[in-house]
Chain A
Amino acid sequence: MKASYAASVFINCPFDRGYRPMLFAAAFAILDCGYQPRCAQEEEDGGDVRVEKIKRMIQDCKFGLHDISETELGDNGLPRFNMPFELGLFLGARHFGDHSQKGKVTLIVDRAQYRYQAFLSDIAGQDIRSHGGNVDTLITVVRNWLSTATKRKTIPGAAVIRQRHADFTVQLPELCAGFQLQPVDLLFNEYTQIAASWLRLRDQAAT
């Protein structure tokens, strides 16, 4: 189900297996803050032009989380520029879009604080956060960003989200076993579906 524009967060990050725990942690933190994570992986339609799908998603989301940490040379000696490209699209929508698009809020994260200056110096002056490749740091950064960017008073503290994420990660193999799945094979949609359900039922049990 689609969330309203103001409740949608676009995640622009690498999709390789090595980055997966980071992607899922970011999605978990977004869900726990009461927002809806959106990612190009949620739609797998071979007939859809990829960039069109991304543009549509960017238009639907007020918030954009951009991780440019994997912008590095691949096996073929060429850099991967998908993340900076999508970041450019997002910033372009904010600059040239209508009234609602101008209210877009961006978070740019990288492995190290000033690494971007070597390959994307045009974004100098923007606030780039570093997660150091650490899941807990990324959760904290995402939570603090959403909390600062909005006036919502119901966003849990970073420590609470980190603890819930740790609990969920411990229970994930058991949850996956219920669907005859392995945690490493989980797709983005499956992860968010299970995580949202887990958070909701946990809240209900607590009240």
Chain B
Amino acid sequence: MAKQEKTSTRVARTASKTLAKPSASPTVKSVAGSALSQSRTGKATSSKVATRASSVLRDTESGSAARSMAGSVLTQRRDAKTAPSKSSPKPKPSRSAKKAGKKAVKKAVKKEESVAGAALTQHVATRRTADGKPVRVVLTPYRGGSLRRDRVESVVSTVLARHKKK
């Protein structure tokens, strides 16, 4: 008997956000699309999308959002077994599986944070001139004062030009 489960509101919201994200991979987007289409209808996951969802779960680099969508989609595949009744004992995940899952989520969060942080951080950088000579880069101060940046540049240029003439 095919399952009649639906995607939860939380996962549907995540799926919608993922679809709007230009940086999301096509595999994750296809899983998100499937999850979203199952939020209000009784549609089931195709075997093609189920394979993709499985690959997302196996990939240690996958983020927590992608994992929860993939999990949701897999429970709604056509050949999925019905959920065990409440009376039957629920299989407990092993300690090592729990640990591995937590580690994967932690790694994904750390990666996302470092990507976001990198855009806001000036790194130690050495620029090279056309002839390959390394030159040092003057870093922007952590906090500019009350002075407007364009105004500073203009005043400094004027004073430098004046002194060069002298």
Contacts and interface: CB of A to CB of B under 8 A. Distances in A.
Contact of B156 (A38, A152, A201): A201
B10 to A, nearest CB: 33
B163 to A, nearest CB: 6
A182 interface: no
Contacts of A175: 155-156, 159
B134 A3 contact: no
A43 B162 CA distance: 34
Interface string B138-159: 1111111111010111011111
B6 to A, nearest CB: 44
Contact of A196 (B124, B126, B141): B141
Given A7-B139, A193-B147, A1 B160 contact: no
A37 B143 CA distance: 10
A31 B138 contact: yes
Given A178-B155, A197-B156, A7 B124 contact: yes
B136 A205 contact: no
Given A6-B124, A7-B123, A199 B141 contact: no
B136 A34 contact: yes
Interface residues of B, number: 35
Interface in B97-153: 120-126, 129, 134-147, 149, 151-153
A152 B146 contact: no
Contacts of B141: 1, 31, 36-37, 42, 189, 192-193, 196
A148 interface: no
Most B CB contacts (10 A, CB to CB) among A1, A34, A197 go to A197
A31 B145 contact: no
Contacts of A26: none
A183 interface: no
A192 B137 CA distance: 15
Nearest to B124: A7
Interface string A1-15: 111101110000000
A152 B157 contact: no
Interface of A: 1-4, 6-8, 31-38, 42-43, 152-156, 167, 171, 174-175, 178-179, 187, 189-194, 196-203, 205, 207
Given A2-B122, A153-B134, A193-B149, 5 more contacts: A8-B142, A34-B138, A154-B126, A189-B146, A191-B145
